[in-house]
Each structure stands twice: as structure tokens, then as C-alpha cells.
Structure 1
Amino acid sequence: MLLCYFVPYILIITGLGANNILLFWSLWFVMGWGMIGIGASVMHDANHGTYSPNKKVNKYLGYILEVIGGYSITWKIQHNILHHTYTNIDGLDDDISGFVFLRLSPRQRRYWYHRYQYLYAWFFYMLMTLFWMTAKDYLQVIRYKQHNLLSNQKISLRKAVLEVTFYKIIYYSYILVLPLLFSGQAWYYVLGGFCVMHFTAGLVLSCIFQPSHIMASSPFSLPVIVDSTYRMEDSWAIHELVNTTDFAPRSRIFSWFIGGLNFQIEHHLFTGICHIHYKKLSSIVKTTAESFSLPYHVQPTFVRALLEHAKMLKMLGKKEDPATRLLS
């Protein structure tokens, strides 16, 4: 995965493709796939603490996220804490909250333009990593400080902002400045290649994660008030099970490349287990769910999962709100 990202980069800054813009942009395109592999199959396990039984190995491998432009602390808060604890709960799960142009839950307010989101959502998915590597980390640091989530990571707002800034300077220095100086291409071609890389990574990563949760089979249940406190209607494990979908369970190469994230149910139930065990776990989880008359959502192929996700986007954008049917 690292070679898929860094070999094209080395070829770019050594001038390969200086006289061929298609070759030049193809190298950036391959780097985009390297970002996907690093994010899904290396960084993801490391920052969950499951890449290795050695905590130091996980810690230092987790920093590969900073190398590709992110920030581990905000990622852990958003993903490990909020997404994995409050999956599909509007206002708590950051994966579905905070973007007005996409309605990803029947609990969210609907605007007229959402009727077209099944067509334009893919464009915004393309922007996902680009937004992440520029503004998102700063916005999250501020918001997480307001909600007292930074203190749980034992870091102050000032230190977090300084770290984000430091890592961004390092990232943009090597990803843009060096190619501008040494690639032999005009600045606008370098910027275009940078966008090609991020558009590729953003679209594919979004297409991996969104069909795992934004599906018609997900109930999007909210906590209920019991004795003046919010409590889930179901246990945490059942909530994760019913709000998550597996896909392409027989595709070994695909599963290898995306770090087993097609077995999203198993990942959500067993976040402390390395992804190489998900396939064997899936048959156990499925059998257990069926024995308790619980649903086990799975789509046979990746393409089928994307189609079902697109149908859900269209359903969420209709004037006749799908909430009543979905939440009944």
C-alpha cells in the first residue's frame, strides 16, 4: 500500500511524465489508490489498535494518517468514539451529520434540492478527502473542544491546533511544493494532479463506507428518554447490527484491498479484532443473529450495495418523507 502511494510520488518529483500530461496525471491517479489502501487497510487497523498486538507498532503506524494529510486525534474521536458508539444517530454520528447538501438520515431536515442528491452526492463524495485535508481537521478540533472531547485524548485546544498546522505544513510541502519545483510541469497541471488523487480517494472511500450504513435496511433509531436520561431502545450490539450492512463477502481481493471493511458488521461488533479475521467471524455472527431472530444485512456485490445506497439517497430526497416507513 505504501509503495502504491510513494513510488508514483517519487516518479513525479524526479520528472517522469514531464513531457506527457496523461502519464503525469496517471501517476497521481495511482497515488489516489495508494491513499485508499493506506487509509482502509493500514491506518484504519492501526488507529483501532488492531494492526498489531504491540501498542507501539499501532501507535506509530497510525501516524501514517498524518503523512497522507489527516490528523489521528480527530479521526479517533470521529470514528472510534462517535461513529462506533452512536452509529446512524443524527447529531452524534459525525459520519452522517453537518453537511446541508446531503440528507443522510430520515431524522434530518429535508430541503428541495435533496430530491436530486442521488445524482449529485457522488460529486461531494469526491471532495471528501480534499475537504478533510484542508479545513475539516481545524473545524473538528474546535467543535470537539466545545464538547469536551479533546480532554479525553489528553490534549489542549492550543496544542491540537499547533499539531494540525504543523502536520498540514509538512503534508503540503511534500505533496505540492516539491512537485511544483521538480516535476517539470506547470503549476496548474500539478494542482490538477493533486485534485485527481483526492477525487479518486474521496469517491472510492465514500463508496466503501456509505453503503455500510446509509441503506433502507437501517432503522436510524434515536435514544429514548427513560427517567430523564437518554437510553438506546436496543442494546449497543443490536443497534450496530441493525444499522450496518456487509457487502461483497466472497470477493477476497477486494476485501484484502479495503482492509476487510466490506465486513462492516463484524468490524462494528469487534473493533478490537484485526480485519483478517472478519470473514470467518461473519458466518458466526450471521448464525447467531438468525438464532435470535435478528436481521443480518448483506449485499452480494459491491455494485449491488452502491445501487441500494443510491436508492436510499433518492428515497431520502423525496417529498414524501421515508421516515415513517423506515422508522416504523
Structure 2
Amino acid sequence: MTTSTEAPPVRTPDAAQGSDFARLSRRIIDAGLQKRLPGYYVLRFTLVGLALVLGWTAFFALGDSWWQLAVAVGLGLIFGQLALLAHDLAHRQVFTKRRPSEIGGLIIGNLGIGMSYGWWMNKHTRHHANPNHEELDPDVAPDILVWSTDQAREAKGLPRFIGRHQAGLFFPLLTLEGFNLHVAGVRALRQPHMKRRWLEGALLFAHIIGYVVALFLVLPPGLAVAFLLIHQAVFGVYLGSIFAPNHKGMPTLRGNARPDFLRKQVLTSRNVKGGWFIDVAMGGLNYQIEHHLFPSMPSPHLRHAQAIVRDYCEEIDIPYHETGLVQSWREALRHLNEVGAPIRERAGAES
């Protein structure tokens, strides 16, 4: 499937096309793939929780030792796994009801890793509703990077400066993503959509203060700073490496381009092939197409749903794109390089 930035032609669905997703949904339900898996999540929460406890136990036990940098790497990966659990909670894959999902999300997100659950929920809900739509999906807004040639032509300030070489800068910039999540969460406390800003703020600052105090009480200043930088960099790169392959480099939409739900979700998403290791490392988000079609589906069921969705897409002639992890990164970076061309051309003309 092409990875161009232009959206595919949008066919106006007729009565039969309008029921395409309904027929697929019936097949998924008949296969029992929407049923909850409480045993799986008890095990997963237990294992990730134990890893977190062991990580912080090692931190306090080691004290003033350069082995702490290895602990920082490990905790960065564990924080990534916690973020994936918060993601599943947000989509009600764990609990069917909103309240326990929110409580779990606030504990893991705000208190556990310093990421605002309310801010992320607002952002991620808009992304799921309109993936890769330049005006409606906040994940492809030209904040620092540009995601289409149209955005590149209009770029000013920081996006224009970075956009010339954004493919080469992408992974280095991910080292700052952990810090960005903390800052964005604090800034979001002033936004009107935040329903429990005092609670969210209290949990966020409890995490930040507790984290910084622990670092500088246990470690000398230089080692504390090194631990903080490595921990947050690993956390950011890990999350970015999970989320970037999902949509970056896939077709983007603009204006009134609005395919029906099934085509919108499939055409803008990319699956990542792999075995159990990829499933665990990416928290099931390697089945991005299936996740976008059935966001409340427990993550272990996504791999079973894939065969049904892929065969159905072939049956009704919808392109279905999947590739390996490294190739998915290549496609995303190639896309970033291609869409940055207008900025490089403009810079060359002005020099």
C-alpha cells in the first residue's frame, strides 16, 4: 500500500457500503472477541506492578552507584508499560464502567508516571474520531514537526526551522517526549475540558515532587541529573517508537475528506508484524487497525481479530497495510523527509 501523504479517493458509500462495518462487527462479536478478559489484566497489572516495585527497590538499595543508570533505563521501559496500561483503561478494555477506569487511569497516569489522564483522554479521543485528519487530529497538528506538504508550505517558526531536517531529528526529539508529557499535563490544568483539575493537579505534583526529592536525596546531584535525563529519554523514545509506526506515513485527510468509519480507520492506520515479543512491547498497539476499529477490545483479542479484519478488507477491496517494525519506522521517516521538501526548497530559494 502506498504511504503517500495524499488521502485516497473517497467513495460516497451506498446503502451496501454503509453497512460494511456493521457486517464486520457482527463477525467480531460472533467470534467472542469483545468479551472482557479479567484474568489477563489481573496478571498484566500484577507483573507490571511488580516490575515497578523492583525497579524502585533497586534504586533505593543501590544508592550512590553508577549502576543507577541501568536502573534508569529499566524504569523508563516500565513507565512505558504503565502508559500502555493507562491506555487500555482509557478505552475501557479493563473495566466496562467509566468510574473504575478513571480511578485506575488517574493512579497510573498522574501519580504513577506524571502524565495527565484527563489531558491525554481529551487528546486521544479526538485522534480516534478523526485519525490523520490535519484539522481534527491533534496528533498531526504542526506543533514542532510537519506531517504533510500543505503544512510544510504554511510552516513558520519552530516547525519551519526543524522541518527541513525533521526525519533525522525525529528520534533525537523523542528523548524529550517524556518531559513534554509532564509539561503538557501541567499546562492542561488551566483548560476548561479538565473536569477534575484539582485532583489531577494534586496527583501530578505529588508524582513530580516525590520523583525529584527521591532522586536528590538518594543520589549526588550529578548522578541524579544523569538518572533523570536517561530515565525520561528512554521513556520518551519507547513511547514514540510504539506510537509513530501506527499512523505516520499513512494517508492524511484534509477539509471535507471524510470516508466512512471503516475506511477512515483502516486506510490511515498501519499494523506492525511480529510475534509475542512485539505484542508485549507494543501493548497490542501493533494491531493498530483492529484497535481503531474496536477500541474497547481487550488487547490479547486483537491478534485474533486481525485475521477476520484482514480477510474482510480483502473481500470488500479495502487496502490493508502491515509491515515489520523496522520497516514501519523507515516508512515514517521517509514520509517526514518527503513532506519537509517544501521547507528545504524555500530555504534554498531564500539563501
State TM-score, norm by structure 1. Answer: 0.82
Deviation per residue, 1:278-321 (Å, 9 max, x gap): 0011111111111111110111x211111111111111111389
The structure whose residues are more often helix, as a share, is 2
Corresponding residue to 2:187 among 116, 125, 139: 139
How many pairs align?
Answer: 290
**Does the CA-based 8 Å contact 2:189-2:201 persist in structure 1?**
no
Partner of 2:91: 48
* Whole-angstrom distance in 1 between the partners of 2:100 and 2:248: 33
Partner of 2:277: 253
Identity, % of aligned pairs?
Answer: 19
Asked if 1:307 is matched to 2:299, the reply is no
Partner of 2:292: 268
Partner of 1:88: 132
* Whole-angstrom distance in 1 between the partners of 2:140 and 2:339: 13
Partner of 1:60: 103
Matches for 1:125-164 after TM superposition, within 5 Å: 125-133=174-182, 135-142=183-190, 144-145=191-192, 150=193, 155=195, 159-160=196-197, 162-164=198-200
* Whole-angstrom distance in 2 between the partners of 1:284 and 1:212: 19
Shift in CA distance, 55/164, structure 1 to aligned 2, threshold 3 Å:
closer
* Whole-angstrom distance in 2 between the partners of 1:82 and 1:103: 19
Partner of 2:116: 71
Shift in CA distance, 269/221, structure 1 to aligned 2, threshold 3 Å:
same
Partner of 2:203: 167
1:28, distance to aligned residue in structure 2 (A): 1.1
**Does the CA-based 8 Å contact 2:135-2:255 persist in structure 1?**
no
Deviation per residue, 1:196-251 (Å, 9 max, x gap): 11100111211111111111xx2211242xxxxxxx43112211111000012x32
Asked if 1:99 is matched to 2:123, the reply is no
**Structure 2 residue matching 1:177: 3-state secondary structure:** helix
For structure 1, list consecutive stretches of 5 or more residues without a partner in the other structure. 225-231, 322-328
Matches for 1:9-48 after TM superposition, within 5 Å: 9-14=56-61, 16-18=62-64, 20-21=65-66, 23-40=67-84, 42-48=85-91
2:58 maps to amino acid? L
1:106 maps to amino acid? T
Shift in CA distance, 87/107, structure 1 to aligned 2, threshold 3 Å:
farther
Corresponding residue to 1:277 among 298, 301, 307: 301
Partner of 1:228: none
**Structure 2 residue matching 1:319: 3-state secondary structure:** helix
1:169 maps to amino acid? F
* Whole-angstrom distance in 1 between the partners of 2:208 and 2:264: 40
For structure 2, list consecutive stretches of 5 or more residues without a partner in the other structure. 1-47, 345-351
**Does the CA-based 8 Å contact 2:149-2:340 persist in structure 1?**
no
**Does the CA-based 8 Å contact 2:92-2:101 persist in structure 1?**
yes
Is 188-197 or 89-98 further displaced after alignment?
89-98
1:72, distance to aligned residue in structure 2 (A): 1.2
Deviation per residue, 1:73-117 (Å, 9 max, x gap): 1111111x21100111123212122523x1123331343642311
* Whole-angstrom distance in 2 between the partners of 1:124 and 1:113: 10
| Cα-Cα RMSD | 2.2
1:2, distance to aligned residue in structure 2 (A): 2.2
**Does the CA-based 8 Å contact 2:135-2:254 persist in structure 1?**
no
1:54, distance to aligned residue in structure 2 (A): 5.9
1:221 maps to amino acid? L
1:5, distance to aligned residue in structure 2 (A): 2.6
Shift in CA distance, 222/44, structure 1 to aligned 2, threshold 3 Å:
same
* Whole-angstrom distance in 2 between the partners of 1:233 and 1:70: 32
Partner of 1:122: 171
Shift in CA distance, 206/30, structure 1 to aligned 2, threshold 3 Å:
same
* Whole-angstrom distance in 2 between the partners of 1:233 and 1:44: 26
Matches for 1:191-206 after TM superposition, within 5 Å: 191-206=225-240
**Structure 2 residue matching 1:273: 3-state secondary structure:** coil
* Whole-angstrom distance in 2 between the partners of 1:302 and 1:3: 28
